[in-house]
């Protein structure tokens, strides 16, 4: 069988390959109960969830928070690839949190915490605010909204890594939000995921975020910065 990780330049150990295999089995087994993903075909899960999640891993270091993890993307694949990282997965839906706890237990992942809650609320908690070297998010919201969810968690000097499709328009529309929240665009690297454009957007936190952010979700959505 094709080793898709090799084809994208990742050389994984037997232990890592078997962790991905176990993760796939768990997704498959629990999908109907927890409603995690519309993608179920093995090759598609490996490409569109696993490889897609680890293409941004080179930008992720230190302790990181994954906002809106859903079934664990990108956090779990990144943790399998880089086991030295400390990870917090923040997810609003209780059922998905249950699934994530099952994954952490079954894959015996250490230094991984699952928090069930909403980003715009947790970011005002002193245990989370400006405490992370890195925040990540994939498929959660458009970049102006996502920046307001994620940048308040990041320490000054840290970064926010957003997994996006073709992001040119979103990058333009997020310029104002990123600036207001204390960030600056570091990099937007494009990847070709077998015909689909992916962009890893790296935003560096330069200044502390004003305590008024993030606002309540209704405000964030009605009037993005
Ligand atoms: N990141 C995963 C992925 O790439 O497959 C899940 C994407 S799913 C489309 C979006 C997830 O973000 C959902 O599980 C939803 O519950 C969660 N979510 C949306 N808004 C959130 C918020 N403000 N705080 C925490 N989680 C949120």
pLDDT at 1: 58
Residues of the chain with pLDDT under 50: none
- Pocket lining: 177 vs ligand 1, CB cutoff 6 Å: no
Residues sharing a CB contact under 8 Å with residue 104, sequence separation 6 or more, in sequence order = 112, 114
Give the residue, by CA position, lying nearest to ligand 1 atom 27. 68
pLDDT at 33: 85
| Distance (Å, whole) CA 75 – CA 113 | 11
pTM of the model: 0.97
What is the CATH architecture assignment of 2-222? 3-Layer(aba) Sandwich (3.40)
Q: Residue 127: which of 65, 74, 70 has the closest Cα?
A: 65
- Pocket lining: 92 vs ligand 1, CB cutoff 6 Å: yes
| Domains of the chain, residue spans | 2-222
pLDDT at 112: 98
| Pocket-testing residue among 38, 49, 66, 68, ligand 1, by greatest number of atoms within 8 A of Cβ | 68
């Amino acid at each position: 069988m094709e080793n898709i990780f090799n084809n994208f330049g990742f050389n994984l150990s037997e232990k890592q390959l078997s962790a991905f295999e176990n993760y796939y089995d768990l997704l498959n087994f629990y999908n109907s109960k927890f409603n995690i993903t519309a993608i179920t075909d093995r090759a598609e899960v490996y490409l569109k969830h696993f490889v897609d999640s680890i293409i941004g891993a080179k930008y992720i270091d230190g302790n990181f928070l994954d906002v809106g993890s859903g079934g664990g993307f990108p956090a779990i694949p990144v943790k399998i690839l880089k086991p030295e990282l400390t990870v917090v997965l923040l997810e609003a839906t209780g059922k998905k949190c249950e699934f994530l706890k099952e994954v952490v237990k079954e894959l015996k992942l250490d230094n991984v915490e699952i928090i069930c809650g909403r980003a715009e609320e947790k970011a005002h908690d002193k245990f989370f605010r400006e405490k992370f070297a890195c925040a990540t998010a994939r498929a959660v919201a458009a970049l102006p909204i996502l920046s307001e969810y994620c940048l308040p968690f990041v320490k000054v000097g840290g970064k926010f890594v957003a997994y996006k499709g073709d992001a040119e328009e979103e990058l333009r529309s997020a310029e104002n939000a990123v600036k207001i929240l204390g960030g600056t665009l570091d990099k937007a690297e494009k990847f070709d995921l077998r015909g689909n454009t992916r962009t890893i957007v790296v935003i560096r936190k330069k200044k502390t975020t004003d305590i008024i952010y993030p606002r309540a979700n209704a405000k964030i959505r009605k009037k993005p910065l």
